[in-house]
Amino acid sequence: KAGVTQTPRYLIKTRGQQVTLSCSPISGHRSVSWYQQTPGQGLQFLFEYFSETQRNKGNFPGRFSGRQFSNSRSEMNVSTLELGDSALYLCASSFASGNQADTQYFGPGTRLTVL
Amino acid sequence: AQRVTQPEKLLSVFKGAPVELKCNYSYSGSPELFWYVQYSRQRLQLLLRHISRESIKGFTADLNKGETSFHLKKPFAQEEDSAMYYCALSRGGAGSYQLTFGKGTKLSVIP
């Protein structure tokens, strides 16, 4: 089965712009989570979507938002970009059977650079 | 709030030597603990999780609730074990898929 895919893989934006990243989960997976990875802060949880609803949210400002579509694909949006938003954004999907130990499968990430 | 600490940023061992990657956590409830690995130019992937109590690629990890630790061990390191290793915690409860990661330890196995 195809893995988690993310588009685009690389993105360069300037401060003040907004950006939308896309994630396609593994077929049959219903939960999609987003993480930000930076050298200083490491991997930090952004939010998690299940059945088009945000179930969990990390400690990020409201400029970071997301949504999930009926086919489980997810997008995340960052508005009014700041230099500090430069990071690798990872998407992960899981089957979400209700078992809290469900494995999360990660995509390759989108590398966002803000100039 | 939950926290995961991996005290070593870099760990270098010789091939054939034992490996122990340390992980300590802070959480008041009953967490789920995981080890994720990222090999060069590959995506982050699950190595093992405490609930399965399994050995993957020769690695094992035991959850010690008294010491709040989940150290990753392998008796004999191989060159292909060189990678970035992340310890992660899920706070548990149905529908909880939020992982809190440690900063990671880079394991370098010297031939």
pLDDT in tens, A86-98: 999 999 999 876 6
Amino acid at A20: T
| Beta carbons of B97 and A108 less than 8 Å apart | no
- For residue B51, report the phi and psi dihedrals to the nearest 5 degrees: -70, -25
Output the pLDDT for position B7. 97
Q: What is the pLDDT of residues B14-50, one digit of tens each?
A: 999 999 999 999 988 788 899 999 999 999 999 998 8
Shortest CA distance to A4 belongs to which of A20, A39, A28?
A28
**Average pLDDT, rounded, for chain B:** 91
Alpha-carbon gap, residue A90 to A82, rounded angstroms: 18
DSSP tag of B52? G
Which residue of chain B has the CA closest to A39? Answer: B103
Min Cα separation A45/chain B (Å)? 7
Helix, coil or strand: residue A57: strand
CB-CB contact of A105 with A2 (8 Å): no
Q: What is the pLDDT of residues A29-41, one digit of tens each?
A: 999 999 999 999 9
Helix, coil or strand: residue B6: coil
CB-CB contact of B80 with A16 (8 Å): no
Alpha-carbon gap, residue B2 to B16, rounded angstroms: 35
Q: Is the pLDDT of residue B95 over 60?
A: no
